[in-house]
Amino acid sequence: MTKATLVVCAQGVETHAGRAALASVVQGVRRETREFDVVDAFVGTQHPDVAEVVAQLPGRRVVVPLTLWHDDEVEARLRHLASALPGVTVAAPIGPDWLLAELGVRRLIEAGARPGDSIVLAAGPAGSVRARHDIAKAARLLSAVWGGRVHVAGDMSGPELAEAIDIARAYQRRVVVSIYALTMSQATSRIGRLGADVVTAPLLSAGAGEPGVISLVLARATARGSSLAMGR
């Protein structure tokens, strides 16, 4: 019996370290599953493009977007694939989720965050109400695992983050920015200039597949009733 194919779909990243981190997730998923053949694909500037990959694959294909919230642009492209090609299912994004919150707390501890610090979750840009809801939920989950209040900034590249840092600073505590992103990008690399005392690393480390992220990908691939769209 031919296996279904799991297409791990990420947004393109600019850095070598970011690409290595994404590759480590794909390798980890491939290592952990016998149910699927596993391939990678991208939405954006990096290749191979998800549309080309999915069109060339036979049989049943499950696309799992490596997004941390419902991203309208990514989902529109994947829905189009699912509607245009038979046998294609698009799973829900991997976040928000408790496993990501636990990973976020690990990054806080690694960065030297302390219980009395003011924490700001930096994510986005969030282009829709649903995306903002997802990011707010991610902040609540991080707060619950961390055990303290977490402020939310829905656009890590704009003035919204600077404003969130200023608000957090009003508590007369150190300000720690928790990066809610899988990999480092141009936007995340600029966060340190906005006045935070500490900035965490992104959720993924280069060359080290995170077990939590790998398990989330597999959970989304096998979940029933949580898909974004179904092919004919």
Report pLDDT for 115.
94
Residue 177 CB partners (closer than 8 Å, separation 6+): 120, 122, 161, 165, 191, 194, 196, 198, 199, 200
The 10 Å Cβ neighbour count of residue 88 is: 24
Average pLDDT over residues 113-123: 95
Where is mean pLDDT largest: 32-41, 45-54, 153-162? 32-41
Average pLDDT (31-55) is 94
- pLDDT (average), residues 140-148: 98
User: Mean pLDDT across the chain, nearest whole number?
Assistant: 90
DSSP code for 93: P
Confidence of residue 55 (pLDDT cuts 50, 70, 90): very high
Q: Which residues lie across from 36 on neighbouring strands?
A: 4
Confidence (pTM): 0.92
In this predicted structure, what is the pLDDT of residue 230? 40
Q: What is the mean pLDDT of residues 19-23?
A: 91
Residue with tokens 């966060």: 191
10 backbone dihedrals φ, ψ, rounded to 5°: -115, 165
Say if residues 80 and 72 touch (Cβ distance below 8 Å): no
Lowest mean pLDDT segment, chosen from 49-53, 58-62, 179-183, 223-227:
223-227
The pLDDT of residue 232 is 34
Average of pLDDT values for 213-232?
76
Q: What is the model's pLDDT at position 154? A: 72
| pLDDT at residue 206 is higher than 90 | no
**Order of strands across the sheet with 36-43?**
36-43, 4-11, 61-65, 88-90, 229-230
State the average pLDDT over residues 18-47.
93
Between CA 105 and CA 62 the distance in angstroms is 30
DSSP-derived secondary structure letter, 91:
P
Give the mean model confidence (pLDDT) for residues 99-115. Answer: 97
Cβ count near 144 (within 10 Å): 13
Which amino acid type is present at position 50?
V
Residue whose token pair is 């977007």: 65
Q: Are strands 150-153 and 118-122 parallel, antiparallel or unpaired?
A: parallel
Residue 105 has pLDDT above 90, yes or no: yes
Is the distance from CB of 147 to CB of 117 less than 8 angstroms?
no
Report the pLDDT averaged over residues 39-49: 91
- Cα–Cα–Cα angle for 162, 142, 128, nearest 5°? 60
Confidence band of 116 (pLDDT split at 50, 70, 90): very high
